[in-house]
Each structure stands twice: as C-alpha cells, then as structure tokens.
Amino acid sequence: MARSRAKDYDDKRLMMLHRSAELFAASGYVGTSMNTIADACGVSKALLYHYYPDKEAILFDILSSHIEKLVAAVRKASAQAGDPVERFRTIVATLLELYRHADAEHQVQIASLKLLPKDKQQPLLASERILVAMMSDALAAAVPAAKQKRVLKPLTMSVFGMLNWHYMWFREGGPMTRAEYADFVAQLVLAGAADAVATRPRSKARPAGRSRQAALL
C-alpha cells in the first residue's frame, strides 16, 4: 500500500523550496549542500530526502514552480486586460508584483538554470520563451512601430531588463512604490519606443554566411 502524504506536505515542500532558493541566491547552487538545506529548513536530512532525491531536483522544482507561476499569471492578466496599452501596463505590473516575495527565486533563475542538465533546461527554457512571446506580442500591439523584427526583440528584452534587475536597487519604502515603478517602466516604453524606432538607422544587409540568430542580437 502506498504511503499517504501528510496534510501539510505541500506547505512543507514550498517552505523547503523558498529556503533553498534563499540559500542558492546567497551562497550559490554549488556552494550549498543538502545538509545546509536541511539545517536551514529545520528538518532532518532523511525528511529532506523524502521530498527530494538530490539537490538537482530541488533546483528544478524551484525554477519550474517559479516560471510556471509567472507564465500563468501573465497569461491571465493578458486575457483580462482591455486595450493594447492597458494590456502592456497590466503585464508589467503583474510581473513586478509577482517578484515581490520571489527575489531569491528570481536570482536563482538568472544564475543557476544553466547548471541543470540539458534535458531539464529545455522545458524551463520553453516556458521562458512563452513568457517572452506574451510580452513581445503585447509590445507590438501597444507600440505598432515596434512590430519591426529588428527592434521588437531588443525592446522586449530591455523591458525584461528593467524588471528583472530591479531587485539590485529597489527597496520597499523608497522613492517609488512597486506599483509606481511598474507604471514608470511602462510609461518610459510607451512614451519613447516609437521615437527610438523612428530615429534608429536601418541595419546594413548582413554578410553572407551570418546566422539569422546573430543578426537579431
């Protein structure tokens, strides 16, 4: 007969994931051991292994849970928003709010996803591409001039850059609230993107043999 799960199984799992993410963010994935995780979580090493067979499984669950949460929330926000400009603003605000208590998970996503084996990276990268595509689509609709392939990717990644690295400097109680900063980012893009596109010189024809991906970067 299969062993039944305790009623607080999921709560404990989420606690372990968040504490592990904090340790990975502070000391690095390589520099954190299963013993350290167990001690930080206040559980025995045996109980930790009941949840996860190894540190790699913990890292994968941290990242998959975090990225899936982002994708689901942005998809919902995108579907509920009204006009294209409001849709873009809502996506930006939604992402920044989701980052409120997930700085550690976000840092681990940036620094440690590449440490997973290729077969485990692929589903996570696929989910990241979905997130990028939703932002890209919203930008193209809100700023029609940005639909040009030569600028849409740089613009999309610039927006993610402003959001993804905010944890380096943003502090609650600072000169802007989280909602105000989200609006600030959206307004910067909406007010300046069309002019930036209009003044950017057209790229020269790419040399023969140069890859398509290289031409987009």
Q: What are 108-124's pLDDT values in tens digits?
A: 999 999 999 999 999 99
Q: What are 119-154's pLDDT values in tens digits?
A: 999 999 999 999 999 999 999 999 998 888 788 999
Q: Contact at 8 Å (CB) between 45 and 63?
A: no
Q: What is the pLDDT of residue 107?
A: 92
Q: What is the pLDDT of residue 196?
A: 76
55 or 215, higher pLDDT:
55
* Tokens encoding 99: 């980052």
Percentage of residues in the chain having pLDDT higher than 70: 88
- Architecture in CATH for domain 63-200: Orthogonal Bundle (1.10)
Percentage of residues in the chain having pLDDT higher than 90: 72
Domain limits, the chain = 63-200
Q: Read off the pLDDT band of 167 (50, 70, 90).
A: confident
Q: What are 71-109's pLDDT values in tens digits?
A: 999 999 999 878 999 999 999 999 999 999 899 999 999
